Amino acid sequence: MERGARSGRRRVLLAALALWAAMPWAACVCWEAIPADGPVVDGVEVPDAPAPSAGGLIALTFDDGPRRSTTAALLDGLAERGIHATFFLIGRQIPNNMDLVRRMDEEGHQIGIHTYDHTQLTGLNRGDFAAQVDRTRTLLQDTLGHNHFLLRPPYGAVDPGVRAMAGCPIVLWSIDPEDWDDKDPARIVDHIVDNAKDGDIILLHDIYPTSVEAALQAADRLRRRGFYFVTVEELFAARHIPLEDGHCYRTAYP
């Protein structure tokens, strides 16, 4: 009798564990995969990712461009769909692509800094940091005539020095399909669509034709599920979350 009761309790426990593992929050281990600060951002605990939602706001973000052959095609596809995205640019690629950078700005996309030559920013002294971030900011300012840019540090690597020297809000991401890895558009699209939630920031790279293709396909599928695409700034404004210089932002879950 006692043994039966014990094995019954064990079966219930195992069933509960299996159920827990099958639930979407089990995937929140992905926070640890983000090479930044862990689940606490600026002293505020990051909530577990909610379950995939039907509809909501999503920010598509693109790093490592501009690259003429791929970024232009992406801008065409976004324009056809009336979608605004956010681009984190590499400074040394700006002088040869000023028309593309102006086009992004004119067409309502948001622009950010992704360093001058994709250098990891943690541990840099003031001079080296300025050569990566301030130099890129000046290039953008000279090209666009304004100084309104976010920062995305390469590899999502942030430390107190990066926060102190950023001079603008720091934007990371919540969905990373690792589009640079197998460059398989079907897998990238599935990863995005299967994980998309209201308030997510999706990381892609507009330097690969496969990522451009995947971004546009994912956008079409998510729109049919009721998602709207906004810039990072629009996403946080919609959630009444102020973006402050030197603070890190990964999601804008409702």
| Residues in touch with Ni ion (CB under 5 A) | 63-64, 154
Query: In whole angstroms, what is the distance from residue 239 CA to residue 253 CA?
Result: 8
Whole-number minimum distance, CB 233 to Ni ion, in Å? 20
Which among 63, 105, 179, 206 is annotated as catalytic?
A: 63
Q: 5 vs 11, 13, 17, 82, 128, CA distance in Å?
A: 10, 12, 18, 61, 66
The nearer residue to Ni ion, 112 or 154, going by C-beta atoms, is 154
In whole angstroms, how close is the CB of 10 to Ni ion at the nearest point? 48
Position closest to Ni ion via CB: 63
> Looking at beta carbons only, is 53 or 119 nearer to Ni ion?
119
User: Which of 154, 199 has the CB closer to Ni ion?
Assistant: 154
146 in catalytic set: no
> DSSP of the chain, one letter per residue?
-HHHHHHHHHHHHHHHHHHHHHSGGGGGGHHHHSTTTTTEETTEEPPPPPPP-SSEEEEEEEEEE--HHHHHHHHHHHHHHT---EEEE-GGGSGGGHHHHHHHHHTT-EEEE--SS----TT--HHHHIIIIIHHHHHHHHHHS----EE--GGG---HHHHHH--S-EE--SB---TTTS--HHHHHHHHHHH--TTEEEEEETTSHHHHHHHHHHHHHHHHTTEEE--HHHHHHHTT----TT-EE-----
Instruction: Tell me whether residue 128 is one of the annotated catalytic residues.
Output: no
If the CB atoms of residues 63 and 198 are measured against Ni ion, the closer one turns out to be: 63
One-letter amino acid at 215 equals A
* Minimum CB distance to Ni ion, residue 117 (Å): 11
* Token pair of 31 as six digits: 């926070």
Q: Cα–Cα distance between 126 and 19 in angstroms, integer?
A: 50
The least distance separating Ni ion from the CB of residue 14, rounded to whole angstroms, comes to 43
Minimum distance of Ni ion from residue 135's CB (angstroms): 17
Nearer to Ni ion among residue 202 and residue 222 (C-beta): 202
Q: Write down the catalytic residue from 84, 109, 205, 247.
A: 205
- Residue 46 or 203: the one with the smaller Cβ distance to Ni ion is 203
**Least Cβ distance, residue 87 to Ni ion (angstroms):** 12
Could you list the active site residues? 63, 205
